[in-house]
Amino acid sequence: MNAEQNYGAHSAQVEMRLMVNGESLSVTHMGPDFLIIESASNHPPSDATIILRVDHSERRWNVYLPNGISAESKRVSIAATT
């Protein structure tokens, strides 16, 4: 057996973005109630959209940023919208 063979394994292309106030921010990690963004700028509490792209499939959903975004922190709290 050749160790280089991957037997049909697939490495997906994954991209996560946060759209807030017309700005697109790269998301590096996502948890159930938070995101970690690549670079932060100040935004007040507001509605936002998470975009998750896996290969050629895209999913979008709306969230609320109860604490907004602080330029001093890459962690952003999110809450479901009603």
Evaluate whether residue 19 is within a structural domain: yes
Pick from 49, 67, 69: nearest CA to 58: 49
CA distances from 62 to 5, 7, 41, 46, 81 (A): 41, 38, 20, 11, 6
Count up the domains in the chain and report the number: 1
More confident residue, 9 or 55: 55
pTM: predicted TM-score of the whole model, two decimal places = 0.82
Q: Which residues pair with 69 in a beta bridge?
A: 43
Residue 1 confidence class, pLDDT cut points 50, 70, 90: very low
Residue pLDDT, tens place only, 15-24 = 999 999 999 9
- Fill in the DSSP letter of residue 43: B
**Amino acid letter, residue 61:** W
Domain hosting residue 37, numbered range: 14-80
Helix (H, G, I), strand (E, B) or coil at 69: strand
- Classify residue 69: in a domain, yes or no: yes
In a domain, 31, yes or no: yes
Residue pLDDT, tens place only, 39-79: 888 999 999 999 999 998 999 999 999 999 999 999 999 99
